[in-house]
């Protein structure tokens, strides 16, 4: 069955436009409610910036997805092949999709609450753990060819928590976190589309489009930040997108293909491993921020912040291309 390319384009474009349209509204709400990031230690801005990005990205993800579901339910989609494929995906993965969306809202709310009240690390970790457990219980799990449900739950929860915090750590310069998320989501979309996993590809393109729609408001100058709400959401979505595809289907066995997600997400994972190890060697808590991330080190080598972000994006593009190949 040939899946219409126009549907992929619609998913990406509708998410990007929805995010871009919602951002000014969320930005105004954040300014009125005082939900802003104030200047301070380790901050690169000198005036309060609204923490509207995460809310806008979530809007850009959910609104087109719900619109597509309603269109399928009313049987008004103009592409029969797409309608059949998406409907089959909803039927097969309806519970999982509902859990994924619930988790996306939960992660966004947890990050928003952390932005507002600066939660203790233990409280934030507990919230992340509960959301990851819910998603795993819905069937969104990693197996790695190990026939053990306990192992599947444990590795899935560990993966989700790792990616959420990796992207949270990477949200340290304008455009860095959102750009890496968009690049990774695009890679997962390509892999899923090539393997005929249409619903996964559409979800990845919605994620990519929602993040791309936010980037003009965040890079190179920022009129809004992702905040912990947005970085939690981005890391969570990329972690889920790495779980959903069948990288080694029975009809086309490629055991090494399961390494593709690690390659696609090598930049945030590598940065996380580096700073955690360094903080441990220095005797510092791993969850306390510093300026030893890859982006900061590039700046200390003489690059501007914008150039540092572009170089890291380029590295991510190369790694994603290798993973796809």
Per residue of the chain (325 residues), what is the pLDDT tens digit?
566 788 899 999 999 999 999 999 999 999 999 999 887 555 555 578 999 999 999 999 999 988 877 776 666 666 665 565 666 566 667 788 899 999 999 999 999 999 998 889 899 999 999 999 999 999 999 887 788 899 999 999 999 999 999 999 999 999 999 999 999 999 999 999 888 888 899 999 999 999 999 999 999 999 999 999 999 999 999 999 999 876 555 555 565 667 889 999 999 999 999 999 999 998 888 888 788 899 999 999 999 999 999 999 999 999 999 998 8
Could you tell me how many helices (H) and strands (E) the chain has, helices first? 12, 2
Q: How high is the pLDDT of residue 67?
A: 85
Coil vs helix vs strand at 49: strand
Burial 147-168 (b: 16+ CB within 10 A, else e): eeeeebbebbbebbbbbbbbbb
Q: How high is the pLDDT of residue 255?
A: 59
Q: How high is the pLDDT of residue 198?
A: 86
50: phi then psi, degrees, rounded to nearest 5: -65, 140
Query: CA 49, CA 64: separation in Å to the nearest integer?
Result: 27
Q: How high is the pLDDT of residue 283?
A: 87
Residue in 319, 211, 205, 317 with CA at minimum distance from that of residue 266: 319
CB-CB contact of 183 with 235 (8 Å): no
The pTM score is: 0.92
Exposed / middle / buried, residue 218 (Cβ in 10 Å: 0-12, 13-18, 19+): buried
Cα–Cα distances in angstroms (integers) from residue 138 to residues 69, 90, 103, 161, 207, in the given order: 20, 14, 11, 17, 20
CB-CB contact of 54 with 227 (8 Å): yes
Q: How high is the pLDDT of residue 322?
A: 93
316: phi then psi, degrees, rounded to nearest 5: -65, -40
Which residues, 6 or more positions from 76, have their beta carbon under 8 angstroms from its beta carbon?
Answer: none
Longest dimension (CA), the chain: 60
Query: CA 304, CA 314: separation in Å to the nearest integer?
Result: 15
Domain range list for the chain: 5-254
Place of tokens 């590039």: 298
């Amino acid at each position: 069955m040939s899946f219409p390319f126009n549907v992929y384009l619609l998913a990406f474009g509708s998410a990007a436009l929805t995010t871009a349209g919602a951002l000014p509204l969320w930005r105004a709400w954040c300014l009125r409610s005082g939900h802003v990031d104030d200047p301070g230690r380790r901050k690169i801005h000198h005036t309060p910036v609204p923490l509207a990005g995460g809310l806008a990205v979530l809007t850009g993800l959910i609104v087109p997805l719900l619109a597509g579901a309603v269109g399928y339910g009313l049987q008004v989609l103009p592409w029969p092949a797409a309608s059949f494929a998406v409907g089959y995906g909803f039927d097969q993965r309806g519970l999982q999709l509902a859990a994924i969306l619930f988790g996306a809202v939960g992660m966004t709310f947890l990050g928003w609450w952390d932005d507002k009240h600066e939660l203790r690390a233990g409280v934030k970790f507990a919230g992340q753990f509960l959301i990851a457990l819910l998603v795993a219980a819905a069937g969104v799990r990693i197996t790695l060819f190990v026939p053990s449900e306990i192992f599947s739950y444990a590795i899935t929860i560990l993966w989700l928590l790792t990616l959420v915090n990796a992207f949270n750590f990477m949200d340290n310069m304008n455009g860095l976190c959102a750009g890496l998320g968009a690049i990774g989501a695009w890679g997962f979309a390509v892999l899923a589309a090539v393997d005929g996993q249409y619903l996964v590809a559409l979800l990845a393109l919605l994620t990519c489009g929602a993040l791309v729609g936010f980037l003009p408001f965040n890079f190179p100058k920022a009129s809004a930040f992702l905040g912990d709400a947005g970085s939690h959401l981005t890391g969570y979505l990329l972690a889920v997108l790495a779980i959903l595809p069948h990288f080694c289907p029975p009809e086309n066995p490629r055991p090494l293909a399961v390494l593709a997600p690690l390659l696609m997400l090598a930049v945030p994972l590598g940065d996380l491993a580096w700073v955690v190890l360094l903080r441990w060697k220095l005797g510092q808590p791993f969850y306390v921020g510093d300026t030893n991330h890859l982006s900061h080190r590039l700046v200390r080598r003489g690059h501007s912040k914008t150039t540092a972000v572009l170089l890291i994006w380029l590295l991510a593009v190369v790694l994603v291309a290798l993973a796809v190949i």
